[in-house]
Structure 1
Amino acid sequence: KTVAPRPEERVPEALRRMERLHTRFMRGVYAVRQAREHLPAAPDPDLVPDEASAAKDEGLAGVRTRMLARIAARREKEDACAALDAESSLLDARMSAFALPDDVDPEAFWTEERLTELDGLQADLLRWEEAAATLAEQLRTAAAPKAPLPPPIRMAAPPEELRREHSAEAQWEAHFQDLMDEVREQRIREDAERAAAEADPKDSAGQ
């Protein structure tokens, strides 16, 4: 707990503490913003293989598991950022309660009781700022480029289970890419036909 200042120092000390708390608050807000900028990447949930398909293919099941894990990891960090944002709003409101009204004498405003309340605000704000800074640092570290790996060591052929998983995953990705290419080609054909019809409406009507 903060040592109570002497009466003549009470107001200047309170103002200095409020200034320091405001600075720490802004640091916390910036840390949360940094954390959001480094949230882990996650795939589109609509692209996750469905459970029925994964049950029929071990490789596809592995793809599904990894995609769901990445989605869950991002949501966890998003929830952490949201919780810090919500707490920052509460702290901001509590800080506003210490704003000195224009028609109130500072000596009368900064009582011992109010300074005790300021102790509680300070403890909560510093804890919140530390949590925000820790989360931001964790996400920055995780998002930082990794050091290049050493050249791979030549080994014997991988186990049959690993070959099957990689093969199935590659087949699924190739199949998905083929579907996307087919959709794009279909859209190109439709756009070309629509453009031709608009360019020559009589010919289109005759057809």
Structure 2
Amino acid sequence: MLEVEHLACLKGDRLLFRDLALRLQAGELLRVAGANGVGKTSLLRLVTGLALPEAGDIRWSARCIRREREAFHRELLYLGHAPAINDLLSPLENLRFACAAAGDELSAAACVQALERIGLADQLDLPARVLSQGQRRRVGLARLFLSARRKLWVLDEPFTALDVKAVADLAQALTEHCAAGGMVMLTTHQDAPFAVPPRVLDVGAYAC
């Protein structure tokens, strides 16, 4: 379980929010909502340990993530808003590099299968610089199909630049992860066809 208590976020000299609390349990999908600039992405970065809170506690399985950083990150998949891919590498090369950097040594065949599932069967070996914005986004999202063992998925605007079919496929993948006992925390400005509506956390309710 992910537990957040009395969390405060300082960005520059501005306090974005304070006293934010949440609990995310196995099987749950949580949508982080709020107006632009309220601190949604900042919250995701705090929860993943990529930034430090001004105040508050973040625990994974009842342990502080700062003290159990490596163990926590072994169970975490974080995909930020930017695609984070190398334009000179192909989708297959980018995916294999991203998996290896995260400590997941996977075969080329597994990576090909993930890229095919996300809709990039015809772009496997093209340089990423020629891909559309939606295709670039899919390269990163292919990691979802290789990360079932990572219980907590934290995703920043995963539906950006995707077409209707890709949005539906991704929503199904997130639903399946939760059904298997995983957890998903995401931000999105788009409506997605989730089988069960996600629980919503409005960061604006904690804004300063």
Query: Which category of TM-score, normalised to the shorter sequence, fits these structures?
Result: under 0.3
Which structure features the higher share of helix residues?
A: 1
- Larger fraction in strand: 2
Normalization by structure 1: what TM-score? 0.19
User: Which has more radius of gyration?
Assistant: 1
Tell me the TM-score normalised to structure 2 length: 0.19
